[in-house]
């Protein structure tokens, strides 16, 4: 009996210990510590990182189109020039002589047109006068012949007289017909041997020759094709450190200057053919580089090549699509030819709800987060949108201001007590 009482006491003591332990676990043991983040609205961005080269928007080589000797040089490397500004002259006496001669020939041919017109008018007056004279003679011959016919009928004159008058009438008619034909022919031929048509044709020919010679002479003036900055000036053939000087010979087609168009720089970037589907004209871009640490330059996609070409990386078999980024500004530290990093913002959504990627739990194809309210984690289903490397867009299930568990927390259960350790809230990417 005594043993039974002792055993019952032990069992009761164990029960008390278990109850006390259970109570202690509920109220005194520490809850799970988790990092939390406050849900806020921000800017969601996805970036396509690429490498690029800084360039001027347009560059050109300015050659001399004629041979000769340098006359004067009016520009040097670094000079800002306007479109059409004179940069240099080339001396070529032969071109000057040809242009002067053809100009004189053209002016003489042009003057000959007026002379031909005067001659033509004079010839026309002469032809018309001949017609009038022939008509008068014909009329008189007709009058005489008709009168003699009447007299012959009355036997007042002999037959031979009538025959003479008829012969004169026929001769007057022939002269009149010839004068009329001459007038009509003159209208076609210009009324003279040196007709207006011939003079005009000669003047046109001289104008073409003169225009070609004047154009060649004009090529001795080297001008800027557009506004920009002179990048370089041609150097001596045997001395690359010395620029050309007045008197130096030049050949047709020889490059004299290179010029870069004024305006903001562009960046040429090669986008992988698999990524170009996400790139569109007008998308924002951010340019940075090791040569200007801590600086960022904004820009946008200005153009996308319609052709994919082989990568410049010999070890790559992928093709690239040349994409042009137009910078919104051109800081003084930029240089033509610099290598830079380019981030093309393929997504840039303002005022959208964001959560850290690590806050999302996936189960059976559905997405959940743990919303922390009054120290308790509540498993909440959400609907998500696009995601980048760190953030995901939430389209439903959460409201701004709610706190969510911001890290992967294995073993965390629905309605489990937690202690919050706040972490940085999702923020928009810097632009």
The DSSP result for 126-177, as a single string, is: HHHHHHHHHHHHHHHHHHHHHHHHHHHHTT-S-HHHHHHHHHHHHHHHHHHH
What is the torsional sign of CA 418, 420, 421, 422? positive
pLDDT score at 329: 93
Backbone angles phi, psi at 341, to 5 degrees: -100, 140
Fold of the CATH domain 59-91+220-261: OB fold (Dihydrolipoamide Acetyltransferase, E2P) (2.40.50)
Residue extent(s) of CATH 1.10.287.470 domains in the chain: 95-215
Residue extent(s) of CATH 2.40.50.100 domains in the chain: 59-91+220-261
Ranking 98-112, 178-192, 357-371, 383-397 by mean pLDDT, the lowest is 178-192
DSSP one-letter code for 185: H
pLDDT, the chain, mean: 86
Residue extent(s) of CATH 2.40.30.170 domains in the chain: 47-57+263-348
> pLDDT tens for residues 127-172?
788 788 889 888 988 999 888 888 888 888 888 888 888 888 889 8
pLDDT classification of 25: cutoffs 50, 70, 90: very low
Say how far apart CA 190 and CA 187 lie, in whole Å: 6
Residue extent(s) of CATH 2.40.420.20 domains in the chain: 30-44+349-422
pLDDT score at 19: 40
pLDDT classification of 10: cutoffs 50, 70, 90: low
Q: Candidates 2.30.42.10, 2.40.30.170, 3.40.50.720, 3.90.1580.10; correct CATH number of 47-57+263-348?
A: 2.40.30.170
User: Helices 93-153 and 159-189 sit at what angle, rounded to 10 degrees?
Assistant: 160
Residues 63-86: what's their mean pLDDT?
95
The CATH homologous superfamily of the domain defined by 95-215:
Helix hairpin bin (1.10.287.470)
427 pLDDT exceeds 70?
Answer: no
pLDDT score at 17: 47
Does the global pTM surpass 0.85?
no
CATH code for residues 30-44+349-422? 2.40.420.20
Q: Is residue 48 within 8 Å of residue 279, measured between CB atoms?
A: yes
pLDDT score at 12: 52
Residue 378 forms beta bridges with which residues? 371
Structure tokens at 169: 């009438």
- Ranked by mean pLDDT, which of 29-43, 91-105, 126-140, 230-244 comes out on top? 91-105
pLDDT score at 411: 87
pLDDT classification of 175: cutoffs 50, 70, 90: confident
Segment (H or E) for 10: helix 2-27
What residues contact 208, with CB distance under 8 A and at least 6 apart? none
Higher per-residue confidence, 31 vs 256: 256
Q: What is the share, in percent, of the chain residues with pLDDT greater than 90?
A: 55
pLDDT classification of 352: cutoffs 50, 70, 90: very high
């Amino acid at each position: 009996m005594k043993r039974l009482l002792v055993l019952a006491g032990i069992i009761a003591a164990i029960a008390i210990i278990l109850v006390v332990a259970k109570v202690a676990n509920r109220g005194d043991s520490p809850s799970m510590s988790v990092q939390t983040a406050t849900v806020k609205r921000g800017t969601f961005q996805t970036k396509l990182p690429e490498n690029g080269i800084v360039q001027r928007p347009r560059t050109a080589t300015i050659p001399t189109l004629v041979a000769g000797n340098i006359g004067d040089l009016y520009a040097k490397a670094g000079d800002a020039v306007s479109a059409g500004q004179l940069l240099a002259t080339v001396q070529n006496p032969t071109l000057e002589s040809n242009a002067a001669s053809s100009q004189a020939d053209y002016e003489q041919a042009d003057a000959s047109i007026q002379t031909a017109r005067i001659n033509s008018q004079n010839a026309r007056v002469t032809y018309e006068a001949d017609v009038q004279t022939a008509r008068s003679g014909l009329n008189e011959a007709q009058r005489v012949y008709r009168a003699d016919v009447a007299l012959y009928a009355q036997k007042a004159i002999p037959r031979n007289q009538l025959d003479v008058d008829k012969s004169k009438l026929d001769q007057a008619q022939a002269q009149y017909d010839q004068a009329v034909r001459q007038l009509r022919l003159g209208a076609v031929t210009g009324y003279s041997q040196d007709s207006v048509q011939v003079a005009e044709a000669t003047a046109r020919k001289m104008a073409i020759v003169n225009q070609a010679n004047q154009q060649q002479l004009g090529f001795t003036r080297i001008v800027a094709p557009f506004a920009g900055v002179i990048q370089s000036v041609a150097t001596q053939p045997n001395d690359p450190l010395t620029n050309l000087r007045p008197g130096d010979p030049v050949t047709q087609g020889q490059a004299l200057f290179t010029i870069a168009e004024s305006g903001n720089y562009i960046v040429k970037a090669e986008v992988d053919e698999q990524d170009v589907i996400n790139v569109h004209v007008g998308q924002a871009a951010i340019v940075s580089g090791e040569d200007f640490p801590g600086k960022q330059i904004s820009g946008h996609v200005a153009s996308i090549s319609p052709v994919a070409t082989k990568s410049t990386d010999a070890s790559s078999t992928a093709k690239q699509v040349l994409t042009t980024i137009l910078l919104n500004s051109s800081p003084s530290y930029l240089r033509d030819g610099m290598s830079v990093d380019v981030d093309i913002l393929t997504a840039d959504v303002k005022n959208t709800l964001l959560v850290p990627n690590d806050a999302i739990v996936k189960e059976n194809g559905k997405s959940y987060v743990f919303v922390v309210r009054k120290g308790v984690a509540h498993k909440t289903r959400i609907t998500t949108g696009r995601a980048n490397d760190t953030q995901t867009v939430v389209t439903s299930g959460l409201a701004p201001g709610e706190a969510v568990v911001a890290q992967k927390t294995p073993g965390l259960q629905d309605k489990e007590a937690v202690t919050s350790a706040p972490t940085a809230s999702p923020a928009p990417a810097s632009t």
